[in-house]
Each structure stands twice: as structure tokens, then as C-alpha cells.
Amino acid sequence: MSKVVLITGASSGMGRETAILLAEGGHTVYAGARRTDRMEDLKRHGIRPVAMDVTKSDDNQRVVKQILADQGRVDVLINNAGFGLYGPVEDIPLDDARYQFEVNLFGLADLTRLVLPSMREQGSGRIINTSSMGGRIFTPFGAWYHATKHALEGWSDCLRIETAPHNIQVVVIQPGMIRTEFGQVLGGYMQKYYAGSAYKAQLDSFFQQASDPKNANRGTDAKVLAKVFVEAATTARPRRRYVEGAMARPLLFLRKWFGDGVYENVLRRAFGG
């Protein structure tokens, strides 16, 4: 049965590939991102790009109203927009940390609240939240990013219980390393806090590991994750959580069964410190 799907963060990576696969499967797909120029080519797949910044409630309201006016329903919301803020806690301004939460949690929550009334009225719906293996583990210099993903995990579990009587399912996707992820970190936020940092020695070690071509190529292709998203969106009985991608299962297993001490020693050996 064809579904009406809204997916955020659809201009690249997992969001883009998921939108294409869903559209090829016959579903009506609205692809949201801040810059629609990056999604123009998605139109040839029958995808409908919509300009939206999930941190702006006016954008979220406009898009949900548009879809309900066009289609009369939203069957699946895929909350995929997000980014990773990396750097030493001491160096990151709290305004930057707050913005990390605005994108990764509060914007997602606002959009979810807007689609829930129509899902309740139709007696069905599905919310798919992109978390990360980082929602259950931790890595150096990722305190604020991991904080948002740990929060999203608990938020999603509570939402699942609340909405179950209305036949609204809540699914969490926990990707591992995705190809190009390390390059994005190196080229962006971590470098922003490097100058003058008291943590340069540790940051240098992290940069060395992250820029190693062997590590950079270990990430999973976004198309692999797109298939997981499609299953989560379309199967009759989805799992509560899907884990997929490089290093996800080994690291989750390591922390769960060997404890924080062993896990931290592994991180120190890998990244120094």
C-alpha cells in the first residue's frame, strides 16, 4: 500500500537515498531540507522537495499543512535532519551546544508534535527517528552530539508507549559510521575550536586517526542504510530499533557486555589520551 512520507535532511546522504528508494517503491515522498537547490534532481524520481529548517516552527507548520492539504494525511515521518557537533566541552560555547539540541532533538520534537494529531485521527502512523550508535556509546570530543542522541533514544521510547494505543509506531535507527562522516567532522566543527585549545595533543591524535585513509573508507555506504529506512517505513511490524553500519554492532556489544572501563581503554588506545 502506497504511503505518504515526509523525510527531513533529504538533500544528501541517508536522507537522499531513502527518499529515492521510497519513491521508486511507489510511495508519495516529500523531501525536506534547508536548500531545495540541492534536491532539484530528486524531482525526476517523483519526489517533492520542500524548503524547511526543522529549528523553525513556522517552516514545520507550513510543510505539514501543505502535505495535509495535498494528500489528506501523513503516514510516515522520518526525522533524519541532524549534524554532529564535535570538540572539547571546555571550548564549545553553550550557544553552539544549544543549537545542537535545537537541530537534533527540539526541531524533531516540534515536527513530530505537528503530525501526531492527523495520525491519531486516521488511526495509524509511523515516526522514524535517526539516532546513532552514538545514542548508546560515546567517543572523544562528542559530548554534545552524544547527549542529543542519548536524549533522543529515551524520548523515542517514551513516545512509543504514549502513541501505541493510537496505532502509531515509533522506530529508532542507529547507524554506525557512514562514508564521508569523518571528513565532515575534520572539515567543520572540530577545526573551529582547535586554535588555542588546551586539548591540542588529544585533538591531533583524533585528527590523525580520522584522516587515515584506511579509517575514512571503513564507513558504510548511505544506500545500505537507505534500505533499512525503507524497511522500517513499510514493513507491517517494524522493530523498535535497527542497527546498521560500520562498527555499530561491535561497539554496542563491547560497551554493553564488557563495561565502561574496557570500552574506555579501547577508545584511549585508538585515539590517545
The DSSP line for 154-196 is HHHHHHHHHHGGGTEEEEEEEE-BBTTHHHHHHHTHHHHTTTT
Within a domain: residue 137?
yes
Number of H helices, E strands in the chain: 11, 7
Give me the pLDDT at residue 271, please.
81
Give me the pLDDT at residue 244, please.
97
Residue of 226, 227, 247 whose CA lies nearest to 14:
226
Name the β-bridge partners of 78.
7, 128
Answer whether 37's CB lies under 8 Å from 15's CB.
no
Give me the pLDDT at residue 213, please.
66
Give me the pLDDT at residue 127, please.
98
Is the pTM for the entire model greater than 0.85? yes
Within a domain: residue 184?
no
CATH code, domain carrying 105: 3.40.50.720
Name the domain count of the chain.
1
Q: What is the pLDDT along the chain (273 residues), one digit of tens a residue?
A: 899 999 999 999 999 999 999 999 999 999 999 988 999 999 999 999 999 999 999 999 999 999 999 999 999 999 999 999 999 999 999 999 999 999 999 999 999 999 999 999 999 999 999 999 999 999 999 999 999 999 999 999 999 999 999 999 999 999 999 886 555 555 566 778 888 899 988 888 887 776 666 665 678 999 999 999 999 999 999 999 999 999 999 999 999 999 999 999 999 888 876
Within a domain: residue 199?
no
Return all residues near 125 (Cβ < 8 A) that are at least 6 apart: 74, 75, 76, 77, 115, 116, 118, 119, 163, 166, 167, 168, 169
- What DSSP character marks residue 104? I
Give me the pLDDT at residue 16, please.
96
Give 220's Cβ-side CA count (13 Å radius). Answer: 19
Q: Which residues are catalytic?
A: 145
Within a domain: residue 194?
no
Largest Cα separation within the chain, whole Å, is 56
In angstroms and rounded to an integer, the radius of gyration of the C-alpha atoms of the chain is 19
Give me the pLDDT at residue 193, please.
82
Within a domain: residue 204?
no
DSSP H stretches of helix in 81-142: 94-101, 107-122
Within a domain: residue 65?
yes
**Rounded Cα distance, 138 and 194, in Å:** 20
Within a domain: residue 268?
no
Domain span holding position 128: 4-179+221-263
Measured CA to CA in angstroms, residue 119 lies from 73, 166, 270 at distances of 7, 8, 46
Within a domain: residue 82?
yes
**Rounded Cα distance, 24 and 108, in Å:** 26
